[in-house]
Amino acid sequence: MRLATLRDGSKDGRLVVVSPDGAACMSAPAATLQQALEAWTEVELALRAIDDFPEPLDPAAIMAPLPRAWQWLDGSAFQSHGDLMDAVLGITKPKTDLPLMYQGTSDKFYGPTDQVKFPDEALDIDFEGEFGVIVDAVPMGTSAAEAMGHIRLIVQINDWSLRALAGPEMKTGFGWIQAKPPCGMAPFAVTPEELGENWHNGRVCLNLNVDWNGQRFGAANGEPMGQGFHELVAHAARTRDLVAGTVIGSGTVSNTNFREIGSSCIAERRGIEVLDLGEAKTPFMRFGDTVRMEAVDPSGRAPFGAIEQKVIRG
């Protein structure tokens, strides 16, 4: 099952169930995705019962599936990315088995084709291709095994980052505020079974195709996460109840063979250049640039649809 949220003038939009071919939809029996998540066990059956899709799906009307959330916690679960970022930022982190995670701004997620405003190109504008999950209410102390059952939806995310600010903020130990403006989301939030065998061990085992200004930039696969999403959820819930609609991110999708398959963010490519060439060659984004992100399965199907965003001066 795939869900989308359509513009209706409100901040939360209108929830619809999407037809299997992605061309049509039907209004959901819950007004918003947040409302559906707050009563998921009751709402899910009604959502799944829908098999008539009378409304053509207008791509221009699609917002983020969850246009705002009470909580956004982003991990950094791909070791090959973390190691490179530490190298390029000059960070030495202590060895730890704990998942890395920060809390980011969640009062707004950009829709898949929304233009994204930044104050200044000199802040080093970067995209980050990620996967994420949305949970229903998770009680404090939930184990990783139990957490798997709270993962109700899977999403694809562009975690916008301002790299000139990221290193200095990280060195404070307080995490990122200015370096992490709102993220974007791909059109469709999908239930785990929609991904079939490509949802495995709490990982989205799909290639995430990333194109920058029409050129392929990366096609990393989501399988090699150091922790599965269920483990990230349990980490987040150790000392707090997670409110229904909490979004948990994977961090930038990255594979150890990044020299062959490319990267899901510019900073990673720059890190590779630092390692291989002694200095970063690839510039960050300019106003007017576009990024496209689309996870595809081996048959070429894109379960989440595509993010396609242009950066503009704010």
**Piece of 16-24, 93-101, 214-222, 253-261 that binds a copy of itself (CB under 8 A):** 93-101
What is the distance, to the nearest Å, from the Cα of residue 160 to the centroid of all Cα atoms in its chain? 10
Among 98, 193, 214, 278, binds a copy of itself (CB under 8 A): 98
- By the 8 A CB rule, do 251 and 78 touch? yes
| Binding status of residue 140 toward a copy of itself by CB under 8 A | yes
**Piece of 51-59, 96-104, 213-221, 285-293 that binds a copy of itself (CB under 8 A):** 96-104
| Binding status of residue 118 toward a copy of itself by CB under 8 A | yes
**Closer residue to a copy of itself in complex, CB, 104/262:** 104
Q: Give dist(CA 132, CA 150) in Å, integer.
A: 13
| Binding status of residue 286 toward a copy of itself by CB under 8 A | no
Least distance in angstroms from the C-beta of 27 to a copy of itself: 25
**Piece of 48-56, 101-109, 264-272, 299-307 that binds a copy of itself (CB under 8 A):** 101-109
| Binding status of residue 71 toward a copy of itself by CB under 8 A | yes
**Closer residue to a copy of itself in complex, CB, 20/314:** 314
Q: Give dist(CA 183, CA 176) in Å, integer.
A: 13
Helices of type H across 65-162: 79-89, 144-148
Q: Quote the radius of gyration of the chain (alpha carbons, Å).
A: 18
Least distance in angstroms from the C-beta of 86 to a copy of itself: 9
Q: Give dist(CA 237, CA 154) in Å, integer.
A: 18
| Binding status of residue 39 toward a copy of itself by CB under 8 A | no
| Binding status of residue 9 toward a copy of itself by CB under 8 A | no
Q: Point out which residues pair with 72 in neighbouring strands.
A: 104, 247
| Binding status of residue 163 toward a copy of itself by CB under 8 A | no
Residue 90 φ then ψ, to 5°: 70, 30
- By the 8 A CB rule, do 252 and 100 touch? no
Q: Give dist(CA 57, CA 26) in Å, integer.
A: 9
List binders of a copy of itself among 166-185 (CB under 8 A).
168-179, 181-182
- By the 8 A CB rule, do 210 and 218 touch? yes
List binders of a copy of itself among 242-261 (CB under 8 A).
243, 246
Q: Give dist(CA 35, CA 158) in Å, integer.
A: 24
| Binding status of residue 93 toward a copy of itself by CB under 8 A | yes
Least distance in angstroms from the C-beta of 107 to a copy of itself: 4
Amino acid at 126: D
**Piece of 106-114, 201-209, 219-227, 293-301 that binds a copy of itself (CB under 8 A):** 106-114
Q: Give dist(CA 195, CA 295) in Å, integer.
A: 11
| Binding status of residue 58 toward a copy of itself by CB under 8 A | no
Q: Give dist(CA 58, CA 109) in Å, integer.
A: 19
Q: Which H/E stretch holds residue 24? A: strand 24-27
Q: Give the residues lining the site for a copy of itself (CB under 8 A).
A: 68, 70-71, 73, 76, 91, 93-94, 96, 98, 100-108, 117-119, 123, 140-141, 162, 165, 168-179, 181-182, 235-236, 238-241, 243, 246, 314
